[in-house]
Amino acid sequence: MAKEHFRSFDVHFEPQNRVRNQYYDQLIAATIAKLLTSVVRHCRLQRFSFYNAAEKKEKRRQNLLTLFEI
């Protein structure tokens, strides 16, 4: 009798748990998406600044070469 009562109790509350699990799944997915977006943005900025630094270094080198050629 007690087993039947607990089984009906579990079945009664299963949809609520499913909704709660779905909420947490969506929350975790949104948090991971935000984190990945910020990591990708950070990596792009780092790569962009690296290329800018390399370009500036190359321009300085070219300017020095033209300066010494004259």
Q: Of 68, 46, 50, 69, give the one whose Cα is nearest residue 58.
A: 50
Q: Which contiguous run of DSSP H or E holds residue 49?
A: helix 2-69
**Which tops the pLDDT comparison, 60 or 9?**
60
**Max Cα separation, the chain?**
102
Q: Of 67, 45, 49, give the one whose Cα is nearest residue 57.
A: 49
From the number of C-beta atoms within 10 Å of its C-beta (0-12, 13-18, 19+), residue 26 rates as exposed
pLDDT tens track for 1-47: 455 555 555 555 555 667 778 888 999 999 999 999 998 888 887 77
Q: Tell me the pTM.
A: 0.45
